[in-house]
Structure 1
Amino acid sequence: MLVYKTFTPDETEALGGKLAELLAPGDIVCLSGDLGAGKTLFVQGVAAGLGADVNDVTSPTFTIMNVYAARIPVYHFDLYRLENAAALVDIGFEEYLGGDGVALIEWADKFPAALPAQYLDIRFTAGEGPTERIITMIPQGPRYLQMSEELKERADTGFRYCDPSV
Structure 2
Amino acid sequence: MHLSSQSNPIIYKQTDLPKIASELISRATSKILCFTGQMGAGKTTLIKAIVKELGGGNSANSPTFGIVNEYHNTNGNLLGYHFDFYRLEDETEVLDLGFEDYLNQDTWVFIEWPEKISSFLPDDVFEIDIDIVDSNTRKISI
Task: Give me the TM-score of the superposition, normalised by structure 2.
Answer: 0.84
Cα offset, 1:28, TM superposition: 0.5
Question: 1:42 aligns to what?
Answer: 46
Q: Give distance in 2, aligned partners of 1:2 and 1:95.
A: 34
Question: 1:14 aligns to what?
Answer: 19
Q: Give distance in 2, aligned partners of 1:96 and 1:86.
A: 15
Question: 1:30 aligns to what?
Answer: 34
Q: Give distance in 2, aligned partners of 1:14 and 1:50.
A: 12
1:23-65 Cα distance to aligned partner (Å, 9 max, x none) = 69x71100011111011111011101110021x2111000101
CA-based RMSD:
1.9
1:111 aligns to what SS in structure 2? helix
Spell out the pairing of 1:121-136 with structure 2 (5 A cutoff).
121-127=127-133, 129-136=134-141
Question: 1:119 aligns to what?
Answer: 125
Cα offset, 1:14, TM superposition: 3.1
Where do 5+ consecutive residues of structure 1 fail to align? Answer: 138-166
Task: Give me the TM-score of the superposition, normalised by structure 1.
Answer: 0.73
How many pairs does the alignment contain?
133
Q: Does 1:66 align with 2:69?
A: yes
Please point out which of 47, 53, 56 is paired with 2:57: 53
Q: Give distance in 2, aligned partners of 1:43 and 1:79.
A: 14
